[in-house]
Amino acid sequence: MAVVEIKRLAQALSKEYNTPNPDLAKCGQYLSQLKIALIELQYLTHEDKHNNIEELTLARDVLEIGAQWSVRSKDIPSFERYMAQLQTYYNDHSELPASPLKYNLIGLNLLCLLSQNRISDFHTALETIDPEQLHNNPSIQHPIKLEQSLMEGSYNRVWSSRSDVPSQEYLFFIDILMDTIRNEIASCSEKAYTSLPLKDAGTLLFFTNMEDILNFAKERDWKVNPVEQKAYFHSDADEKISIPADQIIKQTMFYARDMDRIV
């Protein structure tokens, strides 16, 4: 594919993606065509050294849209592939004009690692970030503060962070974190209580409407009493244990006779 055609496709992709309600399927089609074209020109494999600033910038911009598109499409493996390809442009091409999306995407990648509990990778990634950006860039500070809140068990701060995200794409990974937190809270509640009022359960689990509470209760196999407005938890103690009484009595009598013989 000629460079002119690649530019035309990239412009069409950018125009579609930056509309208020982009057609994600159409964006995916543009991205598929552009990736093939960029591979053919070795802008993704980097087998040859390219010096054309305009074309390198074009390739980087396409990959950045691809990373954002992956998050909106809820495709984490695709997001990780785009970010891996972007590292070369961010780290090895300082001659390119600065990207306004760079640190937003790096912050998204940090949040992605955090949502998968890849804490070691999270801290390794932090070490590669420019110190000034590390301490002052809101897109980087957001996942750093989230990690601190998680370590402290301040789950309410994790929930509150949804209202202060650098971009809407961050919400996808925060929601994954919240799912993990809710299941952890639910496991602790099941051990601590036999039941909870639905309203209290909703407060504990950061749910804002009854439908979400009931759906979560169903997933956890809780028994909901609509009259009492309570959720009853399954407990191992509820399970009846079968005790082989006859066998135990026979064994006890056998040991007693043996003891008589020894005496």
pLDDT at 251 over 70: no
In which residue are the tokens 């990373």 written? 67
What is the average per-residue pLDDT within 253-262?
Answer: 51
Q: How far apart are CA 206 and CA 216, in angstroms?
A: 11
Task: Report the top-level CATH class of 101-189.
Answer: mainly alpha
pLDDT of 240? 46
pLDDT of 51? 72
Domain residue ranges of the chain, discontinuous segments joined by +: 1-99, 101-189, 193-263
Q: How far apart are CA 175 and CA 234, in angstroms?
A: 26
Q: What is the mean pLDDT of the chain?
A: 88
What does the pLDDT look like over 9-43, one tens digit per residue?
A: 999 999 999 999 999 999 999 999 999 988 887 76
Closest-CA residue to 170 (of 214, 137, 139): 139
pLDDT at 47 over 60: no
